[in-house]
A and B are shown apart, each in its own frame.
Chain A
């Protein structure tokens, strides 16, 4: 099964560029982009695994409905990446399984 992201940027409104970090890798994205878009641009697929069976997932509906885009954003897991706009310096990570609420993780500032 082909698993190459077909995400392709079409010319739209031009925003400012911001830098986010996807699994620690710096990535320049448009300031209108969402964290899910950043993940797709970076080709970080799968971007999460499910809590029960550990099956791989990636952003899907991009409109807040399917919850497939859950990501760890700035140290907080279970965030719907497609509903979160990028911010300069944002740290985006894959989410493995369910969110851990035991210890709030420190923001890794760069």
Chain B
């Protein structure tokens, strides 16, 4: 994605800062609403969760302490099939969406009990409308014959799935450009200057726009205060291992191991508080591999071909921030962990909200004020 804006006027209805999974999904939704959108993205030096994630479209357990988050997660999962189909129609890219359910495998009874209790509470909070099952080893084996003998069991949710996140980003970007969208990565956005008619944005070149949407991942920390918003985000590192391609052995994604459409084995992922360091460490990779082999002994001599670290974009409570600025009308902040899962929601209802420019009380729980109250 290296592009330069055409010479001359750099003007758009909306400037959207950040061309990751969150930004591109919102950008497509704004285009669908008839807006002329320019995406300003920093380029290859940036920290980009969208290129290093695990690819789960994951429902179970999301929002255990915030029902509204569980709701938008499930809504997104429901919107995903149509979203994926429309991406394929317009770009020819099959993002390999599969939503046949997923398992969270547990190695100990305690772990399994804790998860079952958490999902039980969510089931109750949703008035019984929250599908999940707790499976013992025998029941897990019915779904995954290759499961290891030392697995205690799993929680199963029929709404879970996975997708190829790199193909997703490519498909969204291609569609955006084909629909006349501009991606400018001539430089990092340094300042956003609000003025009565809108915003002037200083990046490699300057842009003028009526509205600005911040989707810059960890970069939102510096940008949000310039338009009267706050983004108290911190990085959380995940290391991911990728094994050689093998014949299909796993029909469902699990919380730690999944097999892609091409047969690649993807193994994740750590949760590390190490600041802005997206590297890998032998110790953590060994732990991740060890767990995977306990879950799936047949992976024992599968060769690893790649490993990487990537930084999650985390708010203090792990839930998104969706907020319109009151002091600088026309400025929005959209940031979250689980940007893969939420992509269909972002392209749909959330982009419609931004396009309509109207106050939406249902989004109030996602305001950043919750961290200061």
Binding site for B on A (CB under 8 A): 51-52, 76, 78, 97-102
B46 interface residue, CB < 8 Å from A? no
Pairwise interchain contact A98-B247, C-beta atoms closer than 8 A: yes
Tell whether B245 is near chain A: CB-to-CB under 8 Å: yes
B249 touches A101 (CB 8 A): yes
Q: Is B302 an interface residue (CB 8 A)?
A: yes
Contact B249 A99 (CB under 8 A): no
How many A-B pairs with Cβ below 8 Å? Answer: 32
Count of interface residues, chain B, beta-carbon cutoff 8 Å? 13
A52 engages B247 (CB within 8 Å): no
| Chain B positions within 8 Å of A52 at CB level | 262-263
Query: Are A102 and B245 touching (Cβ within 8 A)?
Result: no
Q: Which residues of B sit under 8 angstroms from A101, Cβ to Cβ?
A: 246-247, 249, 298-299, 301-302
| Distance of A100 Cα from B146 Cα, bound (Å) | 13
**CB of B89 within 8 A of chain A?**
no
Chain A residues near B262 (CB, 8 Å)? 51-52
Partner of A102, one of B263, B298, B301: B298
**Interchain CB contact under 8 A, A99 and B245:** yes
Extra contacts, 4 of them, besides A78-B303, A101-B302, A102-B249 (Cβ < 8 A), are A51-B245, A101-B246, A102-B247, A102-B298
Give the residues in chain B near A76, CB-CB below 8 Å. Answer: 301
Question: Given contacts A98-B247, A99-B245, is CB(A51)–CB(B302) below 8 Å?
Answer: no
24 chain-A/chain-B pairs, Cβ below 8 angstroms: A51-B245, A51-B262, A51-B263, A52-B262, A52-B263, A76-B301, A78-B244, A78-B245, A78-B246, A78-B303, A97-B247, A98-B246, A98-B247, A98-B263, A99-B244, A99-B247, A100-B247, A101-B247, A101-B301, A101-B302, A102-B146, A102-B247, A102-B249, A102-B298
Give the 5 A-B CB pairs with smallest separation, nearest first: A100-B247, A98-B263, A51-B245, A98-B245, A101-B246
Q: Which residues of B contact A51 (CB under 8 A)?
A: 245, 262-263
Contacts of B302 in A (CB 8 A): 101
**Contact surface of B with A, Cβ cutoff 8 Å:** 146, 244-247, 249, 262-263, 298-299, 301-303
Residue among A76, A100, A102 with the highest chain B CB neighbour number at 10 A? A102
Please give me the residue from chain B that is nearest to A100 by CB atom.
Answer: B247
Q: In the bound complex, what is the Cα–Cα distance between A22 and B101 (angstroms)?
A: 44
Tell me, in angstroms, the Cα distance from A51 to B245 when the chains sit together: 7
Distance in Å from the Cβ of B58 to the closest Cβ of chain A? 25
Across the interface, which residues of A come within 8 angstroms of B298, CB to CB?
A: 101-102
**Closest residue of chain A to B300, judged by CB?**
A101
* CB-based nearest A residue for B145: A102
Cβ of A78: which chain B residues have Cβ within 8 Å of it? 244-246, 303
Give the docked Cα–Cα distance between A76 and B247 (Å): 14
Q: Bound state CA distance, A101 and B262, in angstroms?
A: 15
Residues of A within 8 A of B246 (CB): 78, 98-101
In angstroms, Cα B262 to Cα A108, docked, is: 29
A102 partner residues in chain B, CB cutoff 8 A = 146, 247, 249, 298
Residues of B within 8 A of A99 (CB): 244-247
Closest-CB distance, B259 to chain A (whole angstroms): 10
Q: How long is the Cα–Cα vector from A97 to B246 in the complex, in angstroms?
A: 8
A97 to B263, CA, bound (A): 10
Could you tell me the distance between the alpha carbons of A67 and B263 in the complex, rounded to whole angstroms? Answer: 16
Nearest to B298 among chain A residues (CB) is: A101
CA–CA, A102 to B144, complex, Å? 12
What is the bound-complex CA distance between A37 and B302, given in angstroms? 24
Set of chain A residues within 8 Å of B249, measured between Cβ atoms: 101-102
CB distance from B310 to the nearest CB of A (A): 24
CB distance from B173 to the nearest CB of A (A): 22
User: Roughly how many angstroms separate A37 CA and B246 CA in the complex, as a whole number?
Assistant: 25
- Chain B residue with the shortest CB-CB distance to A77: B246
